[in-house]
Every structure is written in structure tokens, then in C-alpha cells.
Amino acid sequence: MVTYYKNIDNQLCEVPETLSNCWINIYPPFDYEAIKGISDKLGIYIEYFTDALDIDEQSRYEEDDDVKFILINTPIRNEQIVHSTRASFVTIPISIVIKDDVIITTSLYKNPVIDSIINQNRKLSNPDITTFVLNLFDQNINFFLYYLKQINIKFNDFEKTIDKAASNSDFVKILHLQKSLIFFETSLRANNLMLVKMKRTNFLNTRQNEDNDDFFEEIIVENHQAIEMTEVYSRILDSSMQTISSIISNNVNMVMKRLTGITMVLIVPSIISGLWGMNVPLPLADNPFGFIILSFSALLVVLFISLFFIRKNWL
């Protein structure tokens, strides 16, 4: 699906097909012929569009004659989208192609970054391409930060559940969050390396505009913050899982210790009754009160052993 947008009176508006001074967004379902038509008319390698269809593509940028190409990873909720992993959140590539006054974005799936620009119908105070790309970068980092907070909230909810009753499904959900953090950290670091290089090489010509240059610097700083947040949440998640595992192991040991103590308490009267049940002469065999004496003696032994184990905190 190919959609065309233009900035009309500082307002982003959908327009009929055009190839000048516009933003072209390519979303699924993909029409290869339509994409090839855009590629041929603008003289752009079709690989610049199709690279975004590979979920494993890494962030990068390059320039060929008058065409600039950027591939950046963005976060999305994994709602039965990527079946190869069971992470709660994953990252997918967005390709950004700039040719003269036209900018083309391509994404393997619908994603919140591009949707936020379209759905909010946001006003653009400076409708140049550089500002648009920087806004896209900024929105990308904002959604990384938003989803990181969502991961933290989900984990806190799981912690409350685990404190009451842990189940295998709870640990599987935590594993999904751990995978999400790994995806986020990898993508954020790749994005950061690309952004820093773009800033250093003035790939977007931000040095000609002080506001854009400062905005780009802020984006890089925010991306660093997102990386630090990911690292902190990863460490918290790992340490919490280790603590929970230790608690569960300790609880199992306590249960086994109590069961062992109960078994030792009950085995003593069993031994006594077994000895007195043998067909050999034994004390109290002819005493009419032998059963009562024997039962009372076994009860005293059980009480003594139980008190001993309780003092030792074994019961």
C-alpha cells in the first residue's frame, strides 16, 4: 500500500499520487509493481525499499549520487507478528530514502513511529526534509522509552503475582520481557552508532541550521538515555530472577526439611510397634495394660522428638 502526503499550510495531508515535494509511505500489503514504478521514475535502487522487508537488517546509512538512504530500527509490540521469537516487543527496520524534495519510508509492518506522524496529523513548523527525518528519529526514541516503561510495569505486576503463587506461565512471560530488552539494547546501540556517524559527517546537513543541529544533538543524548535505561532494566530483571530462583529453591528446601522431620517423627512409633509385633517374647507381653503403656511411651517419644525438631527449626 503506497500513500502520498504533502505539507500544506504546515499541515500533513494525504494527497493523490505525486512524485514531487512529498512524503511517500509504503506499508503492507506490498505491491511490488507499485514499488518498482516509484523506483524507476525516481531513479532509486529498489533494494533501498526492499531492505526494510528483512527483519534482521541492521541500522545503517549511505549515499549514492543524489540519493540518501537510512535504515533505522524501531520498536513494535509483537502481537503475533514475528513468530520466530516469543518476545513481547521486537524491533523492525524502517527505510528512509531521500531524493531531491521527495522522502520515501518503507516498513515491513505498520509501526507506531510512522503511525504517530500520520494519525496525529501533526503540524510541522519547518516543513523541510531534514526536520521531518529528525522528527521521525525523535518519535522513534520516544517509543523505545515508552515501551521500556511498559516492560518495567509488566515486570512489577509479575513480581506481585510471583510473591503470592509462582507458575510456569509467569516465568515464561518474564523470559519474553528479557528477550525484548535484548532486542531493544541491540537495536538502540546500532541506532546510536549510526546517529553519531551521521552527525559527525553532517549527512543530513544539520550544521547549516543551528536549531536542527541542536535537535540532532538532543536526539543522540536521548538515545544514550534509552540505552542506559535498557541496561538498568536488564540488570534489574536478571538480579530479580536470580533472587526469585533463590527464594523458590529455599522454599523447596524448607518443605523438604519439614517433610524429613515429619518422617523421622513418625518412623519412631512405627519401629516400636514393629518390634512389639514380632512373634518373640517381649516386655509387657502378659501385662493387661501393655498396649496402653506402649502407646503412651511411643507418644512421649514422638512429643520429645517433635519438640527437639521445633527448637532446631526443622518443623
Q: Residues 173, 289: one domain?
A: no
Assessment of whether the complete model's pTM goes beyond 0.85: no
Residue 153: per-residue pLDDT: 87
Residue 81: per-residue pLDDT: 58
Q: Residues 133, 270: one domain?
A: no
Q: pLDDT band at 140, cuts 50/70/90?
A: very high
Q: Residues 292, 196: one domain?
A: no
Q: Residues 243, 276: one domain?
A: no
DSSP string, 105-118: EEESS--HHHHHHH
Residue 126: per-residue pLDDT: 47
Segments forming the whole domain that contains residue 69? 2-249
Q: Given 249, 264, 288, which residue is the final one in a domain?
A: 249
Q: Residues 225, 267: one domain?
A: no
Q: Residues 174, 290: one domain?
A: no
Average pLDDT over residues 13-25: 83
Q: Residues 85, 130: one domain?
A: yes
Per-residue pLDDT tens over the stretch 204-234: 888 888 888 899 999 999 999 999 999 998 8
- Detail the DSSP E strand segments found in the chain: 2-8, 11-15, 22-26, 60-64, 67-77, 89-99, 102-107
Q: Residues 266, 205: one domain?
A: no
Q: pLDDT band at 279, cuts 50/70/90?
A: low
Per-residue pLDDT tens over the stretch 42-88: 888 888 888 888 888 889 999 888 889 999 999 998 875 555 567 88
Q: Given 218, 234, 249, which residue is the final one in a domain?
A: 249
Q: Residues 271, 173: one domain?
A: no
Q: For residue 122, what is the domain's CATH number?
A: 3.30.460.20
Q: Residues 108, 154: one domain?
A: yes
Q: Residues 258, 289: one domain?
A: yes
Q: For residue 299, what is the domain's CATH number?
A: 1.20.58
Q: How far is CA 264 from CA 35, 93, 253, 297, 315, in A?
A: 78, 63, 16, 16, 11
